[in-house]
Amino acid sequence: MMRAAYGFIAAFCLCAGALTVTLIASTASRPTGIGATDASDLAFRPHPGARLPLAARLVDERGRAATLGQYFTRSPVILVLEYLQCTSVCSVTLRKLLEALNDLPLEVGRDYQLVAISIDPHDKPADTFAARAKYVGLLDHGDVETGIHFLTAAVPTEAREIADTIGFRYRYDTLLDAYIHPAGFVMAAPDGAISRYIEGVAISPGDLLGALADAGQGRPAGPLTRLLLLCRIHGAPLGRFTGPVLAALTIADLAAGLTLIAIFAAVWRRRA
């Protein structure tokens, strides 16, 4: 009985592998032109452990010159890249983030810093001042004056350097008259090293607390977390690899289920 079960599983895995190869070959031959709705090349490319360019030149809400490094002191930093004319992903991400932070027993300015940097060179200090006033009202504990910062880049290349270090890929789409970019943000340790990525707009206070704790102690994400960050992409199609990836995951689940059935059958037979 057991030999038959193991033989069936082996045959199933061989067929599954052949199916996955076939799917990859078939999808690889399709044209993959990138249009306004294809954001497969704009997902996060996580670089946990990379050090942010702390010397990057920025401008704060009052028009004063600043550097990224001045917001890195003794607390972890939540770093959000966005642009102020965005009425969808950026605004939802910031609102959900602040709502989740409001549920934590932490104080902004003491336990963490929140730094939002615009990727749009058209955003000015007057815009970031208005945006900051809008969002600080969502957080009702901590020193919002010293803990929440909305910034612009002194020159566009400074924002691009920060984005490249994070692995935050974006581009301006002339058809949509908007920037296309991934949803989410990063946690950074007080020394400027990237610790964790939180993708999407569904932000769990528990995940946020764990990420802040890791960043506070300078712990980068482990290998498994890095793999999940690469595989779990929110809000962006995977392009020509969507079919093979989903098929491979489904096959892996089925194979795991069959393996468990065989193991339980062996245990039951021995006890019988």
pLDDT in tens, 83-135: 988 877 888 899 999 999 999 989 999 999 999 999 999 999 999 999 999 99
Considering only CA atoms, which of 90, 159, 98, 85 is closest in space to residue 127?
A: 85
Structure tokens given for 23: 């799917």
Domain co-membership, 24 together with 141: no
Q: With left for phi above 0 and alpha for psi between -120 and 50, is residue 144 left, alpha or beta?
A: alpha
Identify the helix (H) or strand (E) that includes residue 180. strand 178-180
CB burial of 106-125 (b: ≥16 within 10 Å; e: otherwise) equals: bbbbebbbbbbbbbbeebeb
Domain co-membership, 243 together with 222: no
Domain-terminating residue out of 231, 246, 261: 231
The whole-angstrom separation of Cα 162 and Cα 153 is 10
Domain co-membership, 130 together with 242: no
Domain co-membership, 82 together with 159: yes
Q: Is the pLDDT reported for residue 234 higher than 70?
A: no
Domain co-membership, 130 together with 21: no
The type of residue at 73 is T
Q: Is residue 219 part of a domain?
A: yes
With contact defined as beta carbons under 8 Å apart, do 183 and 75 qualify? no
The pLDDT > 90 percentage for the chain reads 42
Domain that holds residue 23: 2-30+238-271
Domain co-membership, 245 together with 150: no
Domain co-membership, 155 together with 213: yes
Q: What's the length of the chain?
A: 272
The type of residue at 229 is L
Q: Is residue 174 part of a domain?
A: yes
Structure tokens given for 187: 């946690």
The 10 Å Cβ neighbour count of residue 29 is 8
Domain co-membership, 222 together with 175: yes
Domain co-membership, 82 together with 177: yes
Domain co-membership, 68 together with 139: yes
The whole-angstrom separation of Cα 103 and Cα 92 is 17
Structure tokens given for 104: 């934590």
The whole-angstrom separation of Cα 50 and Cα 53 is 10
Which of 17-21, 110-114, 199-203, 210-214 is the most confident on average?
110-114
pLDDT of 204 reads 84
Q: Is residue 58 part of a domain?
A: yes
Considering only CA atoms, which of 149, 183, 141, 140 is closest in space to residue 39?
A: 183
Helix (H, G, I), strand (E, B) or coil at 86: coil
Q: Is the pLDDT reported for residue 26 higher than 80?
A: no
DSSP 221: P
Considering only CA atoms, which of 145, 135, 58 is closest in space to residue 108?
A: 145
Domain co-membership, 176 together with 247: no
Q: Is residue 44 part of a domain?
A: yes
Helix (H, G, I), strand (E, B) or coil at 179: strand
DSSP 41: G
Alpha helices in the chain (DSSP H): 2-28, 89-102, 125-136, 144-147, 156-166, 205-216, 223-231, 242-271
Q: Is residue 207 part of a domain?
A: yes
Q: Is residue 35 part of a domain?
A: no
The whole-angstrom separation of Cα 60 and Cα 133 is 13
Q: How confident is the model at residue 233 (pLDDT cuts 50, 70, 90)?
A: very low
Count up the domains in the chain and report the number. 2
Range from 58-72, 117-131, 241-255 carrying the lowest mean pLDDT:
241-255
Domain co-membership, 145 together with 121: yes
The whole-angstrom separation of Cα 77 and Cα 63 is 21
pLDDT of 262 reads 54
pLDDT of 86 reads 83
